[in-house]
Amino acid sequence: MKSDRMKVVQLNVCSEEEVAEAVKCVRKHLQETETSKGAHISEHSTFHEQAEFTMLSTETGKGAHVSEHSTFHEQAEFTMLSTETGKGAHVSEHTTFHEQAEFTMLSTETGLWALVNNAGVSTFGEVEFTSLETYKQVADVNLWGTIRVTKAFLPLIRRAKGRVVNIASMFGRMSNSSRSPYCVSKYGVEAFSDCLRYEMHRWGVKVSIIEPGNFIAATGILTRDIVMETADKLWKEAPQIVQEDYGRAHFDRHVSVLKSYCNSGLRDVAIVIKDITDAVMSCYPYTRYNPTDAYWWIRLQIMTHLPAAIADRLYIY
């Protein structure tokens, strides 16, 4: 989208210094738009779908991210568009495979109306095949990136009595084998969001969590080439004792399962956009939204409500 009023600032969402600079940029923009009596939304979706409000994605040749992908290059974009209505404020954050994030802002006279944290990366691999560095890299984006950006913008959000919307995942409520780095980080986002919701109640700020299901087919962010490249790296870097105990046949079976996921999931992300829109615009937003298909919704209810022994027997063992 092109606009004479759109301003873009690139930043690393894992950098305290760059996030601080982004806040300065936003404050300056708010001051400028306040003198012109308002601001307006510029929005289109990282899910490759335009929406009237919030979510602006970038493409670096590596693909866009919704909830399930990997690699850890860190880049972000901050996008602001001022207009003439002046009724709210919004920040939207998102990553691609190379951790690219964009923020679309809507400013008001008293602060920012909403912050949508959608930065995230992922990878796969059983625990003994996954390095501690990988855990740290995933958490630095998914968890600490969300916390870092939220803390930086909370004063502006509180001033507007606005919204914080954090994009978690169905894997922030239930776990799955070979996805521990991603699950750990998204469980953290869920806990952080719950704590923040309790604390922000007295300020009139509402905090919502979006828990998307499987949208691999819609985004194309997981391909057979990516799976094979990651698998080769996992096997080569695994300790010899792990290679010997697990065996290559076991490892290859897991890789084959992951490759079968490459064309799975929903192909239309309209329900994700709809839920994000509701979380930002509704007078009474939900605490949690579950945009997903029937299979994953039912599985989520079973895994989170039935005794673990029963749920595990149905879906894990």
Residue 70 pLDDT > 50: no
- Residue 24 has what pLDDT? 85
- Residue 40 has what pLDDT? 46
Residue 278 pLDDT > 90: yes
Superfamily of domain covering 6-216+267-299: NAD(P)-binding Rossmann-like Domain (3.40.50.720)
* 96-145 residue pLDDT tens: 433 444 444 444 446 888 899 988 888 889 999 999 999 999 999 999 99
What is the mean pLDDT of the segment spanning 180-195? 97
182 is catalytic: yes
- Residue 292 has what pLDDT? 94
* SS3 call for 149: helix
316: confidence class by pLDDT, cuts 50, 70, 90: confident
Which entry of 182, 284, 289, 295 is annotated as an active-site residue?
Answer: 182
Residue 224 pLDDT > 70: yes
Residue 62 pLDDT > 50: no
Residue 76 pLDDT > 60: no
- Residue 273 has what pLDDT? 92
- Residue 313 has what pLDDT? 92
65: confidence class by pLDDT, cuts 50, 70, 90: very low
- Residue 9 has what pLDDT? 62
Tell me which of 135 and 2 has the higher pLDDT.
135
* 4-60 residue pLDDT tens: 555 666 677 888 888 888 888 888 877 776 666 544 444 433 333 333 333 333 333
What is the bridge-based pairing of β-strands 163-167 and 206-210?
Answer: parallel
What is the mean pLDDT of the segment spanning 58-70? 35
Output the CA torsion sign for 195, 10, 27, 84: negative
Q: How many other β-carbons are positioned within 10 Å of the β-carbon of residue 137?
A: 21
- Residue 8 has what pLDDT? 60
Tell me which residue has tokens 């300065």.
Answer: 24
In angstroms, the CA 222 to CA 225 distance is 8
Amino acid identity at 193:
S
Mean pLDDT across the chain: 78
Tell me which of 4 and 219 has the higher pLDDT.
219
Residues with Cβ within 8 Å of residue 270, at least 6 apart in sequence: 49
Specify the range with the lowest mean pLDDT, choosing from 42-46, 152-156, 175-179: 42-46
Smallest Cα–Cα separation from 210: which of 146, 298, 294? Answer: 146
- Residue 206 has what pLDDT? 98
